[in-house]
């Protein structure tokens, strides 16, 4: 009887394993898979099996889509492990693909959605601007009457921080920078939630800009940071430009993807009433452009 029970459990496990339909959803940095004794870089849309061995380098990230289970698993730094073990480690932090957005993201992955990164993309038009409106109202409430450039880092709903890293040296940029200096963001998600991020730049004239672009398919998968992870966004460098003076950067983190350009627009729209509409992660840094 025990043997029969064991065989039944084994059959059920095999059914679960084969039920997975795993694909690479997004890659940030160095993420490799072992094939025939050698390691190669993973690419978006690559098919994975539960027994594939993968590793995620420091300050890198991988997101895996289980198409049948309609889940996305986001993974930070990891030593060489089977895909099944990696997924088990992050279960509970996965994002459901049953929402309208994840259905759109899954469709984009397999139906030729463009991976092109653009500041001119149309935004998340398939679901309106409700999320952006809620983010703006929440940020205004957290400002407590101050300017956005003076917002308190303690007024955050998620433990998120960032550093600006010099491209030339790999060192953390000093508070005083020069015109033309180039850098990239090192973003730390110290929360237990997978988060989407972007950074508002407030220049010396008070103008608001989005620092990180979105993809034309509007998935924002390249800006999805795993829980308890650090990611270097080297592919999206920034350059300090005119005007000279105080330059403030504010990281915005959210559990849902959002279009920061719409958030910026609403933050500058008169008559919007502050209210705590949603959970938003915030972190501010100030630079002086010389």
Same domain, yes or no, for 274 and 205?
A: yes
Considering the domain architecture, whether residues 85 and 132 belong to the same structural domain is answered as: no
CA-to-CA dists, residue 166 to 149, 202, 280, angstroms: 22, 20, 27
- Considering the domain architecture, whether residues 51 and 168 belong to the same structural domain is answered as no
In the structure, what pLDDT confidence band is assigned to residue 19 with cuts at 50, 70 and 90?
A: low
Look at residue 122 in the predicted model and tell me its pLDDT.
47
Of 79, 110, 141, which residue sits at a domain end? Answer: 110
Indicate the length of the chain as a whole number.
290
Same domain assignment for residues 201 and 80: no
Percentage of the residues of the chain whose pLDDT score is greater than 70: 82
- What pLDDT, on a 0 to 100 scale, did the predictor assign at position 114? 60
The answer on 269 and 129 residing in a single domain is yes
Q: CATH number for the domain including 136?
A: 2.60.40.2550
pTM for this predicted structure: 0.87
Predicted local confidence at residue 109, as pLDDT = 76
Instruction: Decide if 231 contacts 169 (C-beta within 8 A).
Output: no
| Tokens encoding 234 | 């080297």
Final residue in a domain of this structure, among 110, 139, 162: 110
Same domain, 280 and 148: yes
180, 205 contact by CB (below 8 A): no
The reply to whether 158 and 275 lie within a common domain is yes
If asked whether residues 127 and 220 sit together in one domain, one would say: yes
Rounded mean pLDDT, 162-173: 97
Residue 6 shares a structural domain with residue 140: no
Residue 13 has pLDDT above 50, yes or no: no
Q: Name the residue with higher pLDDT: 152 or 120.
A: 152
The Cα 288–Cα 290 span in angstroms is 6
**What pLDDT does 220 receive?**
84
Instruction: Among 110, 141, 174, identify where a domain stops.
Output: 110
If pLDDT is split at 50, 70 and 90, which confidence band does 18 have? very low
Regarding whether 236 and 134 lie in a shared domain, the answer is: yes
- CB-based contacts of 159, cutoff 8 Å, min separation 6: 189, 190, 191, 281
**Which of 120-124, 186-190, 231-235, 281-285 is least confident?**
120-124
Query: pLDDT, tens digit, for every residue of 105-115?
Result: 677 777 655 66
Residue 164 pLDDT more than 80?
Answer: yes
* 84 pLDDT above the threshold of 50: yes
In terms of residue numbers, what domain contains 157? 118-289
């Amino acid at each position: 009887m025990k043997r029969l029970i064991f065989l039944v459990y084994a059959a059920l496990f095999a059914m679960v394993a084969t039920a997975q339909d795993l694909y690479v959803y997004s890659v940030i940095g160095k993420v490799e898979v072992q094939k025939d004794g050698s390691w190669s870089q993973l690419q978006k849309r690559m098919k994975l099996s539960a027994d594939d061995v993968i590793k995620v380098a420091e300050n890198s990230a991988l997101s895996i889509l289980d198409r049948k289970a309609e889940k996305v698993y986001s993974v930070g730094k990891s030593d060489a492990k089977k895909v099944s073990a990696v997924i088990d480690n992050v279960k509970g932090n996965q994002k459901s693909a049953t929402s309208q957005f994840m259905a759109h993201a899954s469709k984009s992955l397999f139906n030729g959605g463009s991976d092109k990164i653009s500041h001119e993309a149309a935004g998340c038009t398939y679901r309106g601007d409700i999320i952006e409106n809620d983010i703006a109202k929440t940020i205004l409430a957290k400002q407590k009457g101050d300017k956005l450039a003076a917002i308190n880092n303690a007024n955050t709903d998620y433990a998120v921080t960032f550093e600006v890293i010099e491209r030339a040296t790999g060192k953390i940029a000093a508070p005083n920078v020069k015109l033309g200096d180039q850098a990239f963001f090192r973003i730390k998600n110290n929360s237990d939630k997978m988060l989407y991020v972007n950074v508002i730049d407030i220049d010396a004239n008070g103008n608001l800009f989005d620092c990180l672009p979105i993809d034309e398919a509007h998935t924002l998968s390249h800006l999805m940071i795993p829980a308890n992870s650090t990611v270097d966004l080297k592919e999206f460098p920034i350059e300090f430009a005119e005007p000279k003076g105080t330059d403030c950067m504010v990281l915005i983190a959210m559990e849902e993807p959002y279009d920061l350009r719409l958030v910026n627009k609403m933050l500058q729209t008169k008559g919007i009433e502050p209210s705590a509409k949603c959970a938003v992660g915030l972190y501010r840094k100030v630079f002086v452009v010389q």
